[in-house]
Chains A and B, each alone.
Chain A
Amino acid sequence: MTATINVFLKEGVLDPQGKAAHHALDSLGFDGVADVRIGKQIIIKLDTNDRAEAEAEVKEMCETLLANTVIEDYAIEIN
């Protein structure tokens, strides 16, 4: 199975990269941009075919290493 993990700064935690990209889009004339958030995507291939097992394993990976839950949220998608 493949796990796709999106890691983003939490709502309310200022995202300097998102803000810089937002300014750049504004100055390029792209109107109507309300907000830009920049995060990272981590793709993990797993040996197991058991969805529940994969989900539990990846959640533990996120809590342990892949996200810093002081400042970041994560979302897991398993396919």
Chain B
Amino acid sequence: MKVAVLRFPGTNCEFDTQYAFEKLGHTTELVWHEDETLPANIDLVVVPGGFSYGDYLRSGSIARFSPVMKAVTRYANDGGKVLGICNGFQILTEAGLLPGALKRNNNLHFISKHQNLCVINNDNAFLNKCEKGEVLNIPIAHADGNYYIDEEGFKSLEANEQILLRYSDENGKPVVVNGSVTSIAGVCNEAKNVYGLMPHPERALEALLGSEDGIRMLKGFEA
């Protein structure tokens, strides 16, 4: 598998993301935000975490107008797979590639810790190696992760099985972490080729460092 990893001014998870996919045996290529095209023959685009453009105005609001995002939008509209992690999730919602928006955490804190997540839907190219209801432990690190969507939008997310993950306790019961609507931690688009989540699977690859649950998530794209 060949993975394109985007890089904006202020991105800081691009090397971790490359490390993760290379550890799983894939090739990766960094793509600068000013590039107007994506590398040829890629299987996945990852918009990694960080603080693109210093989170000025709103997280992700400026990065979405980068030349490379036009290429990503074309790629996604043609059915290409795109994964946004943390700031990448914020950029994809700002770009309109994913529904909803990410607001400031309810408690206004930057939350950085290991967090249990419950797999809500796995009938997609991302979480197909995880079980529905399975609890994964993945680090989170964000200030603007409070997922918002209006009631009508929420209903269609549920009906189309677009909710990927919820923050939960160790038994899979939803818990309030940042104020997200029904504790949502990740969603996908209706066509199920664009994915976004606040937690960082690329930081959960080694049992020694607390969790290797990220491996199974990222391996999903191999199918």
Contact = CB atoms under 8 A, between A and B. Distances in A.
Given A68-B94, A70-B148, A16 B103 contact: yes
A53 B73 CA distance: 31
Main secondary structure of the interface of A (DSSP, over half): mixed
B101 A68 contact: yes
Contacts of A68: 58, 61, 94, 101
B107 interface: yes
B28 to A, nearest CB: 31
A71 B90 CA distance: 13
Main secondary structure of the interface of B (DSSP, over half): loop
Nearest to A71: B101
Nearest to B105: A16
Nearest to B150: A70
A25 interface: no
Given A14-B106, A68-B101, 14 more contacts: A9-B103, A13-B148, A14-B179, A16-B103, A16-B105, A16-B107, A16-B146, A17-B104, A17-B108, A65-B62, A70-B100, A70-B148, A70-B149, A71-B103
